[in-house]
């Protein structure tokens, strides 16, 4: 078979009767001499020749060609102004076997949709974009397009486009050809028979590319718009051939198979990915029996970002969960990552938890002096403060509070890593309150800390925190208005 | 088995259980974990995650995936949801199902990243152009983040309509026990989808209707669908509302704080109860009116300067006085603060 098949009838990719149109319209809705009809015909013929009609989805834009679905007997999706490449991206990825065509005008693609076309091209989406550039907004009555030539009169450039006011015409093909991913970019013109044949070849090539999985193809089609340019159809074609083509040179801007490495993540079962194990959930009775031995507490943990404040809260919540309690962990979150203030609220409860926000904590774990001063006044009467120092700061008082001073950071440094100060604090909390059983605590640490060295250090830190409090207990000690420290 | 899980992560896991294998989005605090965990988990079960170049693009990718018949999700917050509104109007117009998670932050404008409930209007009242509705669900816990995500997918498919999960920075960022199970999620036949096959070749997804009569018929059809949804999908919860003198109304995280406030008030002998809408659209107006009719006063608490309170006033329709108390800027009222407000307003009532 020769390269081109000569058709003497309408392509089967066109509907026989355009029933989606109003019955009052007997013609296509395009103006006489408009390039859309020719472009549509070339696409329909190529789809038929390549046997892609059943697989094709035409995404029509906003603009004159919004009604492309009147004509194409293919799957049709109509997209918002400028967004056809985004919709096409997901259509293609949803059904990789489909042949997705984004058909766009210059306002749609080169003005409102520049972000979408640049990024779809840059991702190398395996779609075809047919970009009809007629240098003007057609459907809305002749306003300036990004492709309007300098000096060209439009309804919004009544004195001609002035580069100092509206900038220069946007050269989409040249611009996209600077990207790594696109496979094929060519600019053609519907200006004379020879150029139409070249356009036909380009459109076919773009579709073949997609069929073969070569990646992103864009054909920019310079097209006549006699009505809006206010020229007769023949004159318009000459204008495209001479003036428009001079500003937008025809030719191939990119032609290579995109070499995009494919990296696939490991595949797992749904159960493994979302964390469902075969182990049945504990019954309410079982839960009640377990958590009866665990103390109900509301804990606020505060310090600098980087001190393990949030992680400590998560560990305590996880321990409560293992004891079948109701738990909640609420962080303060901010744009700062390290050295900003960080605090979290942890509730351990036997009942459904109402507000996860703790305003009157029973326990405050203050990792630094700022936190101690900031939150001590919020402590519930008779509550406990665990402070990360060997003694309280000068002049600090907290009425009706039990205060345990533990130099957790110092102890952690002595163990070899400042990182485990939070676990020293945890040890102190457990020794002081006996809120959670030791075996659960150890198990949670084992399950959470994957690094063996770190785990060994954490176990030492836990013990050190416990021992510090244990060895300093003063039997019969009474708290004074300034609290007391062990 | 119960797992300790963040609200935002629970959404992703539940979406996977609900059969969602497509996520298109753009990161924004405090919703970013939804994108991050979707990127981590969805490709592992053979699905697609794509970070779009903008929220505008993301929602139009959602449009494309929904048109292709996929269960698809995106998530954002305040400023990002504003950018998505155009696309949401198109999705509603073209009757495409999808799930949009809005983890609300402080606004307007860039605002801050702390929790608010000030996206109520833009989720519940439309937000984009045209006469349309979103189905809006408001979870109050991590477990509900999961359960209502599954429900959102089902309702979206059932009604061929966008469904919102309207939550906030607190519920999104907090961790609680989560129990997940593999469920038989109801599949809906999507014969209308455009898949690029011979069977779906005639299909056409669009929101354009140029003829006034055709567009009117289309909008009336949507309206009938919304009425059917209103009749069938109302969800709410009450707590000690039966004998309450004062009915507190709040949704999402606020309902949790109100529950604690009620415990405190009851301990002091004040008969206070809770009405908590779970569906914000369709709004449980009848049930609320009935609950309110037994009370002397209604007090609405929101993390906004007053958005849902308008729906409460419409529902109560003047039968009892409706008070409002709101905090914004990321300030979340404490139990004590609400209790004090309650006492002063009850005192004013007597």
pLDDT at A335 over 60: no
Q: How far is B231 from chain A (nearest CA, A)?
A: 30
- Please, which residues 243-302 of chain B have a Cβ atom closer than 8 Å to chain A? 253, 256-257, 259-261, 263
ipTM: 0.96
Whether the Cβ atoms of residue A181 and residue A169 lie closer than 8 Å to each other: no
Residue A367 has pLDDT above 90, yes or no: yes
Say whether pLDDT at A254 is over 90. Answer: yes
Question: Are B177 and A74 inside 8 Å of each other by CB?
Answer: no
CA distance B295 to chain A (A): 23
DSSP letter for each residue of A263-328: --PPP--HHHHHT--SSPPPPHHHHHHHHTTS--EEEEEEEETTSSHHHHHHHHHHHHHHTT-EEE
Q: Which residues of A touch B33 (CB under 8 A)?
A: none
Which chain A residues are within 8 Å of B194, Cβ to Cβ?
57, 75-77, 91
- Any idea which of A129-133, B167-171, B306-310 has the lowest mean pLDDT? B167-171
pLDDT at A271 over 80: yes
Residue numbers in B near A119 (CB within 8 A) = 52-53, 57
Name the minimum distance, in Å, from the CA of A292 to any CA of chain B.
18
Q: Closest to A80 (Cβ–Cβ): which among B86, B259, B332?
A: B86
Q: Are A184 and A206 in contact (CB under 8 A)?
A: yes
Residue A291 confidence (pLDDT): 64
> Minimum mean pLDDT among A45-59, A295-309, B222-236, B289-303: which range?
A295-309
Q: Do B65 and A91 touch (CB under 8 A)?
A: yes
Say if residues A91 and A181 touch (Cβ distance below 8 Å). Answer: no
User: What pairs with residue A301 in β-bridges?
Assistant: A344, A365
Of B2, B196, B198, the CB nearest to A95: B196
Is the CB of A23 inside 8 Å of chain B's CB atoms? no
Residue-wise pLDDT tens digits, B70-111: 999 999 999 999 999 999 999 999 999 999 999 999 999 999
Q: B295-335, pLDDT tens digit by residue?
A: 999 999 999 999 999 999 999 999 999 999 999 999 999 99
Q: Are A330 and A354 in contact (CB under 8 A)?
A: no
Longest Cα–Cα distance in chain A: 107
Degrees (nearest 5) of the Cα angle A42, A44, A46? Answer: 65
**Distance between CA atoms of A54 and A69, rounded to whole angstroms?**
15
Cβ <8 Å between B45 and A321: no
Q: In the 3-class helix/strand/coil scheme, how is B92-123 assigned residue by residue?
A: HHCCCCEEEEEEEEECCCCCEEEECCCCHHHH
pLDDT number for residue A99: 98
Cis peptide before B282 (omega within 30 of 0): yes
pLDDT at B218 over 90: yes
Chain B residue numbers touching A355 (CB-CB < 8 A): 256-257, 259-260, 334-335
Name the minimum distance, in Å, from the CA of B2 to any CA of chain A.
7
The residue-averaged pLDDT of A317-336 equals 87
pLDDT confidence of residue A89: 98
CA-nearest residue to A357 within chain B is B334
**Cα–Cα distance between A422 and A435 in angstroms, integer?**
17
Banded model confidence at residue A427, pLDDT cuts 50, 70, 90: very high
Give the residue with greater pLDDT, A240 vs A324.
A240
Q: Quick: pLDDT tens for B233-282.
A: 999 999 999 999 999 999 999 999 999 999 999 999 999 999 999 999 99
Q: What pLDDT, on a 0 to 100 scale, did the predictor assign at position A286?
A: 72
Cβ within 8 Å, pair B170-A356: yes
Q: Are A307 and A368 in contact (CB under 8 A)?
A: yes
The CA distance from A315 to the nearest CA of chain B, in Å, is 10
Average pLDDT estimate for A171-198: 97
Q: Minimal CA–CA distance to B343: which of B288, B263, B291, B268?
A: B268
Tell me which residues of chain A, numbers 100 to 119, contact chain B at a CB-CB cutoff of 8 Å.
100, 115-116, 118-119
Write the pLDDT tens digit of every residue in B119-141.
Answer: 999 999 989 999 999 999 999 99
In B, residues 48-87, which contact A (CB 8 Å cutoff)?
A: 48, 50, 52-54, 56-58, 60-65, 67-70, 72, 86-87
| Average pLDDT of span A293-304 | 91
In chain A, which residues have their Cβ closer than 8 Å to the Cβ of B2?
A: 281-282, 321
């Amino acid at each position: 078979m020769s390269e081109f098949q000569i058709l003497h009838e309408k392509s089967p990719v066109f509907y026989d009767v355009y029933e989606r149109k109003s019955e009052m319209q007997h013609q296509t809705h395009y103006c006489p001499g408009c390039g859309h009809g020719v472009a549509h015909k070339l696409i329909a013929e190529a789809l038929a020749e390549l046997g892609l009609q059943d697989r094709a989805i035409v995404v029509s834009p906003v603009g004159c060609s919004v009604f492309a679905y009147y004509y194409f007997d293919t799957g049709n999706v109509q997209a918002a102004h400028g967004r056809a490449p985004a919709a096409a991206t997901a259509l293609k990825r949803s059904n990789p076997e489909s042949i997705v065509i984004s058909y766009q005008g210059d306002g749609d693609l080169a003005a409102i949709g520049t972000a979408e076309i640049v990024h779809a091209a840059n991702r190398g989406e395996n779609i075809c974009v047919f970009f009809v550039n007629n240098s003007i907004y057609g459907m809305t009555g002749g306003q300036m397009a990004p492709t309007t030539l300098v000096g060209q009169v439009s309804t919004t450039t009544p004195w001609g486009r002035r580069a100092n006011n509206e900038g220069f015409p946007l050269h989409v093909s040249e611009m996209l050809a600077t990207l790594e991913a696109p496979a094929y970019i060519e600019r053609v013109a519907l200006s004379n028979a020879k150029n139409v044949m070249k356009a036909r070849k380009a459109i076919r090539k773009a579709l073949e590319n997609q069929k073969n999985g070569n990646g992103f193809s864009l054909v920019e089609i310079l097209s006549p718009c006699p009505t809006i340019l206010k020229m007769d159809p023949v004159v318009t074609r000459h204008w495209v051939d001479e003036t428009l083509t001079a500003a937008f040179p025809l030719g191939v801007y990119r032609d290579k198979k995109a070499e995009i490495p494919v990296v696939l993540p490991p595949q797992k079962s749904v159960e493994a990915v979302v964390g469902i194990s075969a182990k049945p959930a504990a019954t309410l009775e079982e839960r009640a029996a377990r958590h009866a031995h665990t103390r109900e507490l509301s804990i606020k943990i505060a310090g600098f970002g980087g001190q393990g404040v949030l992680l400590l809260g998560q560990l305590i919540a996880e321990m409560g969960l293992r004891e079948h309690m109701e738990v909640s962990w609420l962080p303060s979150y901010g744009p700062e990552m390290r050295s900003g203030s960080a605090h979290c609220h942890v509730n351990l409860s036997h009942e459904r938890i109402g507000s996860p926000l703790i305003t009157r904590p029973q326990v405050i774990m203050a990792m630094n002096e700022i936190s101690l001063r900031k939150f001590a006044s919020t402590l519930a009467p008779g509550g406990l403060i665990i402070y990360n120092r060997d003694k309280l700061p000068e002049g600090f008082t907290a009425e009706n509070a039990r205060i345990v001073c533990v130099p957790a950071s110092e102890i952690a440094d002595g163990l070899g890593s400042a990182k485990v100060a939070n676990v020293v604090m945890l040890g102190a909390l457990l020794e002081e309150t006996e809120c959670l059983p030791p075996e659960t605590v150890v198990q949670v640490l084992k399950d959470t800390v994957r690094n063996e060295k770190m785990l060994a250090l954490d176990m030492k830190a836990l013990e050190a925190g416990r021992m510090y409090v244990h060895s300093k207990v003063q039997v019969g000690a009474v708290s004074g208005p300034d609290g007391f420290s062990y | 088995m119960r797992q300790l899980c963040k609200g935002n992560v629970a959404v992703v896991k539940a979406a996977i259980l609900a059969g969602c294998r497509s996520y298109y989005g753009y990161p924004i605090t405090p919703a970013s974990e939804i994108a991050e965990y979707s990127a981590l988990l969805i490709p592992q079960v053979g699905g697609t995650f794509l970070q779009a170049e903008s929220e505008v693009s993301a929602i139009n990718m959602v449009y494309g995936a929904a048109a292709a018949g996929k269960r698809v999700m995106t998530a954002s917050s305040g400023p990002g949801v504003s950018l998505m509104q155009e696309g949401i109007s198109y999705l509603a117009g073209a009757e495409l199902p999808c799930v949009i998670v809005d983890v609300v932050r402080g606004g307007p404008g860039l605002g801050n990243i702390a929790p608010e409930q000030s996206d109520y209007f833009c989720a519940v009242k439309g937000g984009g152009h045209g006469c349309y509705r979103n189905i809006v669900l408001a979870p109050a816990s991590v477990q509900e983040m999961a359960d209502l995500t599954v429900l959102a997918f089902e309702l979206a498919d059932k009604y061929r309509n966008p469904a919102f999960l309207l939550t906030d920075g607190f519920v999104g960022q907090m961790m609680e026990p989560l129990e997940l199970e593999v469920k038989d999620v109801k599949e809906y036949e999507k014969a209308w989808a455009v898949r690029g096959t011979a069977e779906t070749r005639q299909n056409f997804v669009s929101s354009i209707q140029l003829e006034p009569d055709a567009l009117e018929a289309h909008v009336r059809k949507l309206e009938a669908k919304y009425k059917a949804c209103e009749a069938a999908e109302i969800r709410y919860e009450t707590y000690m509302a039966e004998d309450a003198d004062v009915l507190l109304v709040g949704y999402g995280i606020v309902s949790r704080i109100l529950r604690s406030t009620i415990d405190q008030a009851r301990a002091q002998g004040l008969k206070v109860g809770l009405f908590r809408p779970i569906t914000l659209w369709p709004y449980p107006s009848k049930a609320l009116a009935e609950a309110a009719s037994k009370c002397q006063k209604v007090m609405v608490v929101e993390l906004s300067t007053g958005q849902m309170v308008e729906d409460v006033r419409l529902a109560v329709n003047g039968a009892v006085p409706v008070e409002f108390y709101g905090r914004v800027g990321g300030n979340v009222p404490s139990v004590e603060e609400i209790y004090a407000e309650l006492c002063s307003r009850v005192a004013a009532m007597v």
